[in-house]
Amino acid sequence: MQALFPQFTQFDPLTGTIEGAPSLERHLSDLRGYFADQTAYQAAFTQEDALLYTVTNVEPAQGDGALHYGISYLLPGRVGREYYMTKGHFHAWRPAAEYYIGLRGAGLLLFEDEQGHSWSTPITPNSGVYVPGHTAHRTVNTGPEPLVFLGIYPFNAGHDYGTIQERNFSQVVVDVNGQPTVMERSAFLRTLTQI
């Protein structure tokens, strides 16, 4: 057998882990400034620096044409009315696409391109969701159980978190009368000051 490790990997769609691969944890403290409702964020953080999600990646090879894959495990929950979500990022190599494969739970993918256009798609078990190049993407868990999905991407996709950290996404996903609702961030912020 060719020296290529790990060519075969087993993942667990329930726990969002890959056998033999270390997981990265993201807690509430890692997402300071990302949630719209800062009062709700402070209240949640004071109570507990909760785990929001884990990411586990496998990098079997490098070089032109090579692919990596990872599994994400995003817990259910909310900060105020905003659902638990990932930081979101552009790929450092902007043209890099990514394929998400939904395994468990229910959520939304928020997209925002370099011109600031926003849209979203669902992500559900047994779905393939295409993340185009040049597009920031954030995953939001809108359901009662963990949202688990695979991501397959070019080896050199990389992460650019900085751009999102500065400008954030223009849309938020919030609970409105028990329904997950995509809303402009500015409109959501106005509802907070009106209360």
* Residue 95 Cβ vs its own copies, minimum distance, rounded to whole Å: 3
Query: Does 55 sit near its own copies (CB under 8 A)?
Result: no
Q: Taking CA 60 as the corner, what is the angle to CA 75 and CA 20, rounded to the nearest 5 degrees? A: 50
Q: Choose between 101 and 147: whose C-beta lies nearer to its own copies.
A: 101
Q: What does the alpha-carbon distance between residue 60 and residue 43 come to, in Å, rounded to a whole number?
A: 42
Find where tokens 């060719």 sit. Answer: 2
Residue ranges in 81-100 that form contacts with its own copies under rule CB under 8 A:
91, 93-99
Query: Does 160 sit near its own copies (CB under 8 A)?
Result: no
* Residue 76 Cβ vs its own copies, minimum distance, rounded to whole Å: 21
Among 20, 116, 128, 162, binds its own copies (CB under 8 A): 128
Q: Do 123 and 108 contact (CB within 8 A), yes or no?
A: yes
Q: How far is CA 108 from CA 60, 177, 182, in A?
A: 29, 18, 9
Among 11, 41, 73, 169, binds its own copies (CB under 8 A): 11
Query: Does 1 sit near its own copies (CB under 8 A)?
Result: yes
Locate 183 and state its tokens.
């809303």
Among 76, 77, 133, 180, binds its own copies (CB under 8 A): 133
Q: What does the alpha-carbon distance between residue 129 and residue 111 come to, in Å, rounded to a whole number?
A: 11
Q: What does the alpha-carbon distance between residue 8 and residue 80 come to, in Å, rounded to a whole number?
A: 41
What lies within 8 Å, CB to CB, of 194 at 6+ separation is none
Query: Does 170 sit near its own copies (CB under 8 A)?
Result: no
Query: Does 33 sit near its own copies (CB under 8 A)?
Result: no
SS3 state of residue 126 = coil
Specify the stretch interacting with its own copies by CB under 8 A; choose among 38-46, 47-55, 116-124, 185-193. 116-124
Among 51, 67, 106, 182, binds its own copies (CB under 8 A): 67
SS3 state of residue 123 = strand
Contact residues toward its own copies (CB under 8 A) are 1-2, 4, 6-13, 18, 58, 60-61, 63-67, 69, 91, 93-99, 101, 111, 113, 117, 119-124, 126-130, 132-133, 135, 150, 152-154, 157
